[in-house]
Amino acid sequence: MTIRKKLLAIVLSIAMLCGLMPGMALAAENGENLLQNPSFEDGLSGWTNPDNAWVAIPNVPGYSEHSAVHGKYFVWVPKAEGKDTICVYQDVALNGHNPGEVLELSTQTRNWDQTPRDESKIVLKFLDAAGNVLKEYSQQDSNTKWHKLTVSGPLPGGAVKARAELWAIRHTVDADAYYDDVSLKVLGGTVPVINNQVTPSSSWSGTWSAKGVSGTTNDLDLNDAFYIEQEGEVVYITYYSSAESNTVYGNMKGKINSDGSITGLNWFGENTGQPDVTVSITRSGNTMKIIRTYPNGSQRDILAAEKIADSYPKDKIFTGNKNAILGNTTEQPANNTVPTPDNAVPVTVTGGKNQATTSVFNGVTGVTVSFRTSGVIGYRLYRSESAGSLGISVTDFYITANNFTDVNVEPNTTYYYTLKEVLAEADPLNGKREQIGDVLATWTVKTAGTVGHGFADTSKTRHFIMLKIDDPKMSVDGEAKEVDPGRGTAPIILRGRTMVPIRSIVEAMGGNVGWDQGSREVSLKVSSIDVRMWVDKNELTKNSTKSKIDVAPSIINNRTFVPLRFGTENLDCQVDWINSTKSIVIVWSE
């Protein structure tokens, strides 16, 4: 038995012997939670524990890994008894609720940090009077930090009760799944139901899910969710990474054509209203496809989704600019388009074996390339001012990340780029040179006159950091590093702003990050610049000068996230936002 298990066993035994039974159940918040004892403050009262394996345990003093999200108790399976799956559940009568109403089951859950890691699974079931399961919806994951897991579905005809199930899926000795703050509530609105099948209307408004729908080309997009609001011939689309996630990939505004397709789309990854002219949407019945067509004619990231409801949760509202002018999908961006100070513009990739999966952008920070890795040890990016010449490598060491920003370029200059694979590194002692492989991509670009604009001394060396939404890795001058070392934390979108755990970013710039627990102040110091922000306050100071920010720092899963734009731009960095890849490029000078 591990020290952790011994400690928990002692705490549990003391609680039982001393009669330290949990206290009264928490009242349902605003009367919305249909469950009894949702936070286990009254032990397992109201819950069915068929294997008698689950127990409500109190917080362990001084042991943060074993503390409830709220209150004093949470539940856990101290002994799996050889079973791979262990369940505790609660039934709720559905008197007064109608078919089509959407119910949501959510909980806070976490798993012990071990290999292999056990899993948490929640199941929402609808049962008839005989106890038969008419419909069920489930969601599972594995995460070492407390986080929210959510699943929802419409009430089918004939259902008389809903069952909320919490599962521990064992992969090791114990079934290390922990739960707290369980909620079952009606979201509001109804979905048409015939013979227990959802039958959405022909309108675009409602909930669309990529889960289980064939036609999506990127495995990372298989859980995407789309919430669409239709006003006449115009639609507003909010794009989430999953139905359970609070991460918004972006918002789109488009026009419904006479053939039922949607074009003229604007993409609002940062509420800028910049048109993404490569996007179009087609629909067949209750299935839609979102297709991006690149300037070279290639198609990438085809997303397929099925309409599962005519309504959507009210908190999934459109956060883009509803007044933005619709884009024009027939126009292709020119190579030499001058970028705005906030956004890079796409560049045509003209050749190479990875031409279709390579993206290039021309911005005020420089020339940025993102590409699909090919299983080699690294990559060389060459730059030349003469057509037909390979030129020089833009870095001394080969690149290990799958993205790079060439910041050492001159304004209003035409460059010819070649991206190649590195198959083996040099071994001078054995007379071996670095082995270069195939050409992955080639392109030509004329840099903008604004490159390097904003730096007082353009002769100083510039560096870059590249981040991507929902990616725990970042590229620092071409070297892959973790955004939040050891924790797997990634940048997210919150109310249209990119939020990041800022420490590694500032430290990569040679600065320091401070935290004051009492005032909940975050301080960022780079060279002579001192930026201060406060959790849940829309205020920022730069060297004691106050200004307002529209999204305040937040604590999410015990990590402090700050709005990247306000943090970095006030540290006198240049920032480019690449909407189509959800990437951010930060450039600073020494």
Report d(CA 79, CA 358) in Å as an integer. Answer: 50
SS (H, E, C) 450-471: CCCCCCCCCCCCEEEEEEECCC
Residue 179 CB coordination number (10 Å): 27
**Residue 216: strand, helix, or coil:** coil
Report d(CA 166, CA 499) in Å as an integer. Answer: 31
φ, ψ for residue 535, nearest 5 deg: -60, 130
Mean pLDDT of 132-150: 83
Kindly calculate the radius of gyration of the chain based on its CA atoms and give it in whole angstroms.
27
As given in the structure block, the two tokens for residue 33 are 């939670």
Report d(CA 168, CA 244) in Å as an integer. Answer: 19
Assess whether pLDDT exceeds 60 at residue 298.
no
Mean pLDDT of 174-201: 68
- Residue 181: the pLDDT is 92
Laid out side by side, the sheet with 479-482 consists of 479-482, 473-476, 462-468, 583-589, 574-578
Mean pLDDT of 367-388: 86
- Residue 271: the pLDDT is 36
Report d(CA 260, CA 256) in Å as an integer. Answer: 6
Ranking 14-18, 213-217, 546-550 by mean pLDDT, the lowest is 14-18
- Residue 38: the pLDDT is 92
Cβ neighbours of residue 22 closer than 8 Å, sequence gap 6 or more: 40, 41, 42, 43, 56, 58, 72, 73
State how far the alpha carbon of 259 is from the alpha carbons of 45, 328, 404, 526, 590, in Å.
56, 17, 41, 55, 55
Assess whether pLDDT exceeds 70 at residue 323.
no
Residue 419's pLDDT band, with cuts at 50, 70 and 90, is: very high
Report d(CA 363, CA 409) in Å as an integer. Answer: 11
Mean pLDDT of the chain: 76
Assess whether pLDDT exceeds 80 at residue 80.
no
Residue 272's pLDDT band, with cuts at 50, 70 and 90, is: very low
User: Quick one: what percent of the chain has pLDDT higher than 70?
Assistant: 75
Ranking 156-170, 306-320, 523-537 by mean pLDDT, the lowest is 306-320
- Residue 28: the pLDDT is 30
Mean pLDDT of 167-179: 77
| Cβ-contact 483, 472 below 8 angstroms | yes
Cβ neighbours of residue 53 closer than 8 Å, sequence gap 6 or more: 77, 78, 79, 80, 81, 83, 86, 175
In order of their start, the domains of the chain are: 3-194 (2.60.120.260), 206-309 (2.40.128), 345-446 (2.60.40.10), 462-589 (3.30.457.10)
Residue 262: name the closest of 231, 289, 222 by CA: 289
| Cβ-contact 299, 293 below 8 angstroms | yes
Residue 18's pLDDT band, with cuts at 50, 70 and 90, is: very low
Cβ neighbours of residue 580 closer than 8 Å, sequence gap 6 or more: 267, 276, 278, 292, 346, 359
pLDDT single digits (tens) 478-521: 888 888 888 888 888 776 577 888 888 888 888 888 988 888 89
- Residue 3: the pLDDT is 52
Mean pLDDT of 101-122: 83
- Write down how long the chain is: 590
Start-to-end CA span in the chain (Å): 53
- Residue 64: the pLDDT is 59
Residue 354: name the closest of 419, 407, 293 by CA: 419
Ranking 79-83, 433-437, 582-586 by mean pLDDT, the lowest is 79-83
Residue 31 CB coordination number (10 Å): 8
pLDDT single digits (tens) 394-403: 877 788 888 8
As given in the structure block, the two tokens for residue 73 are 């108790």
Residue 384's pLDDT band, with cuts at 50, 70 and 90, is: very high
| Cβ-contact 269, 579 below 8 angstroms | yes
Residue 332's pLDDT band, with cuts at 50, 70 and 90, is: very low
- Residue 328: the pLDDT is 42
Angle formed at CA 44 by CA 39 and CA 46, multiple of 5 degrees: 90
- Residue 548: the pLDDT is 80
Assess whether pLDDT exceeds 80 at residue 175.
no
- Residue 149: the pLDDT is 84
Report d(CA 230, CA 206) in Å as an integer. Answer: 9
Residue 334's pLDDT band, with cuts at 50, 70 and 90, is: very low
Ranking 223-232, 335-344, 400-409, 555-564 by mean pLDDT, the lowest is 335-344
Amino acid at 541: T
Report d(CA 373, CA 475) in Å as an integer. Answer: 14
| Cβ-contact 495, 319 below 8 angstroms | yes
Candidate ranges 288-302, 371-385, 441-455; pick with highest mean pLDDT:
371-385
DSSP annotation of 313 reads -
User: Quick one: what percent of the chain has pLDDT higher than 90?
Assistant: 11
Amino acid at 544: S
pLDDT single digits (tens) 19-46: 333 333 332 333 478 999 999 989 899 9
Ranking 90-104, 294-308, 350-364 by mean pLDDT, the lowest is 294-308
| Cβ-contact 477, 590 below 8 angstroms | no
Report d(CA 406, CA 20) in Å as an integer. Answer: 63
- CA 380, distance to chain mean position in Å, is 30
> Residue 86: which H helix or E strand, with range?
strand 85-93
Residue 441's pLDDT band, with cuts at 50, 70 and 90, is: very high
- Residue 31: the pLDDT is 44
Cβ neighbours of residue 518 closer than 8 Å, sequence gap 6 or more: none
Residue 417: name the closest of 437, 461, 447, 397 by CA: 447
Ranking 348-357, 418-427, 547-556 by mean pLDDT, the lowest is 547-556
